[in-house]
Structure 1
Amino acid sequence: MRKIVLFIGALFLASCSNYGQLTYVTKLPTKLEENSGILYNNDSTLWVILDKGNPDKLYKTDFKGKLLNELKVDNAKNEDWEDIARDEEGNVYIADTGNNNGKRKELTIYKLPNPQNEEGNKIDAEKINFRFPDKKIFGSEALFYRDNFLYIITKDRARPFTGEAMIYKVPAHKGNYEATFVGKFTPCEEQGVCEVTAADISPDGKTIVILGYGRLWVFTDFTSDDFSKGKMKTIDLGATTQLESISFMDGTTLLLSDEERGNTGRNLYSFSLKE
């Protein structure tokens, strides 16, 4: 009887979780319940960061949900880490760009040497400090690297909500900068769905994906820094969890993760862009 009850309970929990078009991969380690950025490694592992109020650490996990390593990021503080990116040399960038209360006038991106080469339990960080032009104050949860620049996509917290996302860029090396305005776009106008929560660019640089709460916006056929001038495709993922992270695994396969909320989340998923 106990086995039957447990089985029914498992079915009930599964029915309460709507993954939509996403394919469940694994449950992430308990420490990663507030994951806010993921980065795929070619050895089938992930680097993961956590958001506001969590340790200044970079975590490594695998596709079985096993925690493999923790690296303390020196010369850094987790004010509100929101996304993570990598350049062609393996350097990693952590976007400390959350700004929920709108009080942060200057934001930081931490640049780390390739953590795959780190043999200890600490890693040094350089600071890329920046501010938005014209004394504008934004928060951002989305970052990607392209051609020696870091691209930052803002999260709309305006009221009334418009859904508009602004694109800025800063050089991908240590310094203090005023971010350069690149462009803007409106993925959609539904509050609670259309906030931008993560971004990534494909290995060949031809596809950019922007994540929202259950939506995915895919940009292709762009020829300039302002990728919004290219072709945008909207994909309804059909998922109802708090999706916060995205990373290309290859040219067409994406990895996504969500924060833990109640009985849902803290999962790793995959999704194919192939039609």
Structure 2
Amino acid sequence: MKIKTTLTLFASIFIACQNGNPKVIANLPSSLPEISAIEKTTNSDLFWVIQDAGNNNHIYGLDEKGSIKADIIVENANNRDWEDLTSDKKGNLYIGDFGNNNKDKTTFSILKITNPPANIKSTKAEFIRFSLPKDVKPKDFEAFFLHNDYFYVFSKESKKFRTLKIPNRIGNHEAELISEFNLKGKNNKITSAAMSQDSKRMYLLNHDKVWEISDFENDHFFEGKVINIPFDHSTKKEGIFEINNTLYITDEFKKNEGGNLYELSLD
């Protein structure tokens, strides 16, 4: 299998920026201490969130103050390890059920929730299932986004991470390994990902930083420019999305830290 492998730092331009200062705009509900993703859809003003492994199979809609305004049960799905959210231009929401902390799974699911309205109590998902390429060992995955009708899923690694590509089609698929890359520096485990509204920039989140990748063509992401934006603090940040040149970030509540919704302007 041919892949676009980038193992050194010379194929991309790395730029270190001044520290980012994410502003707390809301406290997240204490009943949802392990929020693992956040997303807004085109047809809703709510912030959609989920919790990760060990929690229920609900999606929640929060207002800008962090209050729960929607609580929807996904009837036909278990929360094996829900890790990230993304959406399409029609307002459909997708749940990445691909966490794999023990690295013992080789098949994974992406759940499609059709245009979730805030006033329903339950819904059913459609499933996009994928297996790993034969030459890829089991990995933990916590981040993805939708771009040009394909999902891009990123493994959570200390050094070199993998990027998988899966078509946005209901059914079973074998993922395609499209790149391997090593971000510069330490503490580089990717916990969430987002594509910008204009599809010109992508964002990879970590507990203490976010990387902005731009100037790429098609899905040759890591042949572009990589900007490292370190935060002024480190918490268990696991959710990110972008709208109007602003990042929205969530972190889990742990040891009396976190449990917030943050805003980070990129202007």
Same fold (TM over 0.5): yes
2:260 alignment counterpart: 267
Aligned residues: 247
- Deviations 1:219-254 (Å, cap 9, x if unpaired)? 11110212111111111112211111101122x101
- Relative contact order higher in (CA < 8 Å, ≥ 6 apart): 2
Structure 1 position 41, deviation (Å): 4.5
Partner Cα distance (2:63, 2:251) in 1: 16
- 1:36 and 2:30 are equivalent in the alignment: no
**Counterpart code for 2:266:** L
TM-score by length of 1: 0.86
Structure 1 position 189, deviation (Å): 4.5
For 2:31, what is the secondary structure of its paired residue? helix
Matching residue within 158, 169, 181 for 1:185: 181
1:153 alignment counterpart: 154
- 1:247 and 2:248 are equivalent in the alignment: no
Structure 1 position 40, deviation (Å): 2.2
Partner Cα distance (2:151, 2:75) in 1: 21
1:169 alignment counterpart: 165
For 2:216, what is the secondary structure of its paired residue? coil
- Deviations 1:145-201 (Å, cap 9, x if unpaired)? 011111101111xxxx4x2121111111211111011112212342xx210000000
Asked if the contact 1:184–1:228 (Cα under 8 Å) also holds between the matched residues in 2, the reply is no
Q: 1:114 to 1:140 in 2, by over 3 A?
A: same
For 1:228, what is the secondary structure of its paired residue? helix
Partner Cα distance (2:120, 2:246) in 1: 31
Partner Cα distance (1:239, 1:63) in 2: 22
Partner Cα distance (2:65, 2:160) in 1: 37
**Counterpart code for 1:261:** K
Asked if the contact 1:20–1:239 (Cα under 8 Å) also holds between the matched residues in 2, the reply is no
**Counterpart code for 2:125:** A
For 1:142, what is the secondary structure of its paired residue? strand
- Say what the alpha-carbon RMSD is for the aligned residues: 1.6
2:124 alignment counterpart: 124
Residues 43-62 of structure 1 aligned to structure 2 (within 5 Å): 44-62=45-63
1:230 alignment counterpart: 224
Partner Cα distance (2:128, 2:140) in 1: 16
Matching residue within 207, 210, 225 for 1:213: 207
The structure with the largest helix share of the pair is 1
**Counterpart code for 1:196:** I
Partner Cα distance (1:241, 1:260) in 2: 9
Partner Cα distance (1:138, 1:248) in 2: 26
Asked if the contact 2:41–2:87 (Cα under 8 Å) also holds between the matched residues in 1, the reply is no
Partner Cα distance (2:69, 2:216) in 1: 38
Partner Cα distance (2:229, 2:108) in 1: 31
Partner Cα distance (1:150, 1:247) in 2: 15
Higher gyration radius (CA): 1
Structure 1 position 30, deviation (Å): 1.4
Structure 2 spans left out of the alignment, 5+ residues: 1-18
Asked if the contact 1:153–1:168 (Cα under 8 Å) also holds between the matched residues in 2, the reply is yes
